[in-house]
Chain A
């Protein structure tokens, strides 16, 4: 096959070859990625990567979600290990839906809490609680957050042990990030066009 891309031409792909489709469901599971922009700031959910395990998820997440601007820490957790509450809207605080008690057995462990304060935005890290289960952790957090000034629309609860955190000594991997301006889409000037579009919409 002749292509404008010399890398494709070099592959000598036979155009008449019969291609067999990929087997379905052979993809990896997902891991949720949380990023800290600056030392002292809260970690925020950035997105997900596909990976076979936590270590691989970490190395993918680093370039997927912290290759521009700045970063001082990152962690990943298997999506299956994120306990998710229901979603609420308008003025309804999701903690109103949390029961007053929960069955719990076994040893107490640490759970991390993430709150969604605005629909469409990211979950932000709030803190951690020791409990015997995610359900029990939510019950314990209820009194603290039920009278929150702003409604909380959704909560993620994650066992701290299920999370792979960037180590202190690995934090140097983001050292030169502020100098990588060439990765920013500086030539793509959309702000003016967006502004003009908004003005047209309001007419």
Chain B
């Protein structure tokens, strides 16, 4: 098994989960209604927990401690796609990102349940239930607002159009794509993208929204090229750890 290829895969998945988990947690206390505030915060917590589990797997194959890895890297050392680091915007934007991302995430982990790399396959099986709720939540909201009022539909559509090229960036190919596929670790980004597109089209088809025009994917995140928004997020996220690495709360 190609260790470099494996680590690259693990890092990008874990970094996606951590960064989006942190972004979504910024809604805590500010959600549009109390019940949704709690639901969205819980899912953000799940994501951070899932990132921790993957950093732990990385630690077991020679990488740093999970806390060090999460808090002490700079933006260019992160492998998350650019979509997850974008500022929250208004709730329509965060919801649409949650829908686009979690749909892909659930399919990715579903594929990983059959991974030849056992620690990842075990983790993927374990968190299937969490992901099922996340996609149920996203789908229910998109169907609700995607068929409700003119305002809700136009807001969602605008966010969808804006996010779509970034969403395509989730499937940026790894330099080790062929090794990952050949080793049976993961069927590859192209296979994932195809399933994701079909699923997104199916759900959008049940609303009054339209699929955006196909546009060029926003790439680079997987190679450490990020928007201006990632570094300030990292600074804020690691503020306490950098003052006192032993702090407990």
**Interface bits B34-72 vs A (CB < 8 Å: 1, else 0):** 111011001101000000000000000000000000000
For residues 161 through 175 of chain B, which have their beta carbon under 8 Å from a beta carbon of chain A?
none
Are B144 and A56 closer than 8 Å at their CB atoms?
yes
Known: A7-B26, A170-B136, A173-B136. A60 touches B129 (CB 8 A): no
Report the nearest B residue to A171, measured CB to CB.
B129
User: A-B contact count, CB below 8 Å?
Assistant: 62
Are A59 and B137 closer than 8 Å at their CB atoms?
yes
Are A63 and B129 closer than 8 Å at their CB atoms?
no
Of A44-52, A94-102, A113-121, A189-197, the segment with at least 4 beta carbons within 8 Å of chain B is A44-52
Which residues of A have CB within 8 Å of B128? 172, 175
Are B144 and A60 closer than 8 Å at their CB atoms?
no
**Interface bits A34-63 vs B (CB < 8 Å: 1, else 0):** 000000000000000111110110111111
A60 to B39 CA separation, bound complex (whole angstroms):
6
Are A176 and B36 closer than 8 Å at their CB atoms?
no
Are B136 and A63 closer than 8 Å at their CB atoms?
no
Report the nearest A residue to B39, measured CB to CB.
A63
Which residues of A have CB within 8 Å of B126? 175-176
* Chain B interface, DSSP helix/strand/loop, else mixed: helix
Are A59 and B236 closer than 8 Å at their CB atoms?
no
Are A52 and B39 closer than 8 Å at their CB atoms?
no
A60 to B40 CA separation, bound complex (whole angstroms):
9
Are A173 and B133 closer than 8 Å at their CB atoms?
yes
Min distance, Cβ B234 to any Cβ of chain A, angstroms: 13
Are A172 and B39 closer than 8 Å at their CB atoms?
no
Are B130 and A176 closer than 8 Å at their CB atoms?
yes
A175 to B26 CA separation, bound complex (whole angstroms):
26
B33 at the interface (CB under 8 A from A): yes
Partner of B35, one of A50, A53, A55: A50
Partner of A59, one of B30, B33, B130, B136: B136
B residues contacting the other copy or chain, number (CB 8 A):
25
Min distance, Cβ A111 to any Cβ of chain B, angstroms: 27
Partner of B140, one of A56, A173, A174, A176: A56
Min distance, Cβ A134 to any Cβ of chain B, angstroms: 28
For residues 93 through 150 of chain B, which have their beta carbon under 8 Å from a beta carbon of chain A?
126-130, 132-133, 136-137, 140-141, 143-144
Known: A62-B133, A173-B130. A52 touches B144 (CB 8 A): yes
Are A173 and B39 closer than 8 Å at their CB atoms?
no
Known: A60-B39, A62-B39, A67-B42. A172 touches B129 (CB 8 A): yes
Report the nearest A residue to B42, measured CB to CB.
A63
Known: A7-B26, A50-B35, A67-B42. A59 touches B132 (CB 8 A): no
A28 to B144 CA separation, bound complex (whole angstroms):
14
Min distance, Cβ B233 to any Cβ of chain A, angstroms: 11
Are B35 and A49 closer than 8 Å at their CB atoms?
yes
**Interface bits A1-45 vs B (CB < 8 Å: 1, else 0):** 000001100000000000000000000100000000000000000
Are B26 and A176 closer than 8 Å at their CB atoms?
no
A64 to B33 CA separation, bound complex (whole angstroms):
12
Known: A52-B144, A56-B140. A63 touches B35 (CB 8 A): yes
A59 to B126 CA separation, bound complex (whole angstroms):
21
Are B132 and A173 closer than 8 Å at their CB atoms?
yes
Min distance, Cβ A104 to any Cβ of chain B, angstroms: 36
Going nearest first, the 6 A-B pairs with the smallest beta carbon separation are A172-B129, A60-B35, A175-B129, A63-B39, A173-B133, A63-B42
Residues of A within 8 A of B (CB): 6-7, 28, 49-53, 55-56, 58-64, 67, 170, 172-176, 182-183
Residues of B within 8 A of A (CB): 26, 30, 33-36, 38-39, 42-43, 45, 126-130, 132-133, 136-137, 140-141, 143-144, 236
Q: List 28 A-B contacts (CB under 8 A).
A: A6-B236, A7-B30, A49-B35, A50-B34, A51-B35, A53-B144, A55-B140, A55-B143, A59-B39, A59-B140, A59-B141, A60-B35, A60-B36, A60-B39, A63-B35, A63-B42, A64-B38, A67-B42, A170-B132, A170-B136, A172-B128, A173-B129, A173-B132, A173-B133, A173-B136, A175-B126, A176-B127, A176-B130
